[in-house]
Structure 1
Amino acid sequence: MLLLEMKRRLCTKYVLFSLLGIIIITIGLNLIIVSDQKDISLSLQEEAIYEGDIKEENLLLALKKVRDEKSEDFRYKSQVLIISGLVNNYPGVLYTEDRIEDYPDEYAAEFYQCWRNKFEFLIENKLPIEEQKTALDKLNEVKTPFVRYPGYYLYYTALDNIQVIFIIILFLVTFFASGTYSESFEDGSMEIIKTTKAYKKNMLIRILPVILYGILLTLIATFVTIGMTSSVIGFKALKSSFKMISLFSFLLETSL
């Protein structure tokens, strides 16, 4: 009975076209990442000079090159972007400079202490008192130096793409589920099922195709996105320390 219900609900034009639609939409959105592959490859080669541990001496050198010597070399600018993340995430909190030219040497030479100071300030001023101790304990558990590999920021774009696709999937699954139940109510089968002893089992059989459909769409969107992104920058970028910016982000953003 389960196989028959699966076949009846999933072997339809709606399912086929929606699967193809998700594949096309996913590929289209992720072409933003792979379209300039030549330029990306060049940028990744320049960034690779400083891959691995984020060292304060490298940050200071890069800051001086960009701020004082106006260097356009991407290997230096990519390092300065790390300092910009320190300033611009939760803007107006502790560090308020709008221009790189205004960044003091301290932000690079004492980057990790500045990072810690900012999060301690956020914890003490934005979180409820009862949550502060737990947050500070978690902060103290973070290991430094942070690690960064070329192209890690492209996974942010990929994540944004997946979020958009998931919203589309939500609508598709909702429409698919509504079709399942509307048919049951229209033909009266729902009332019949409710009177049977195997009511829960029969309802589960009706629901499983919807669940499988949603999982299938999600897997397609996820694997296509990861596949296209990794084809350009590989998986090494995922080793980057996202905690340097995102630590407590959800908790803090809900309090800000």
Structure 2
Amino acid sequence: MRGSVVCKKIAPVGEVLVKVFPTEIIDSVGEEDAHFFGAIDTATRALRGGGVFSVSDEIEGAALLHYINVAESYRNEGVGSKLLDYSLKSMKSAGTKYVLYRETADNPINLIISYNFATDNGFIPIVENEKILSYKMETILGGKFAMKMMGKKDSLNNIIGIDDPKDNRIIKFNEDNSDVFYKLEKGNYDPCYSGFYVKDDKIVGALRGVLRDKTVILGDVYLETGYESDDIYTSLLEYVLILLTQDVRVENIVIQVTGEKRRSIINSLLGEPDAERNAIELVRYL
């Protein structure tokens, strides 16, 4: 017998969670750091949907939506929206100011479904036409990048590394930058794998890199209005990639890129990636 559906925050009990949430989601988030929500059938007391959130340790006031899904027999009945609404209200009461939702997939159709669900429920796209490109270090070292970079110095004169997150230029950058997603804060960039384009002692371009195990993740490049040139974008990439190719700890590089123009610049530097995925990134303000 099937009953109505109620939504609740649920305790992280291993055997129950694996029936609703993919193991890779639980492993990547960690039971201790995650907030699990469930859609429960009142008649059978069975979980018929679930959502997983975590509080961001990189952006103050932000939470991450890692996963939300509803059993196939309960879809198209508003259960997913009900679960999401309950989860967002709960996260807001815990101090969350906005929720970030990011999804990648090989099949663009799956992304369209996720995108439509998110926008139907109040999420706003942060970026459009995003790709996640993955390169193995041997692919880069054995390709054309090393040859292109031999003796290259002139175009990198304005690119520098900044080791201290409390550097006055970073403080000023954060004060001037109204877009919270580009703020340079502890945890969301590693000075060893990041580059900054400086003009008149002011940061006008930034490429943030973060080391995760043996993989460096490069976020999309920030360029201030008036400095959105292909040359500056290319120089930032070249500077950081040179650093990475000299670091024996790095085995893989993952690059976030938006737009066909930037995608073609990366291709001209590194060649075709070892793997490529489509991505969406959205935000919901609470």
TM-score between the two structures when normalised by the length of structure 2: 0.22
The structure where helix makes up a greater share of residues is 1
CA radius of gyration, larger in: 1
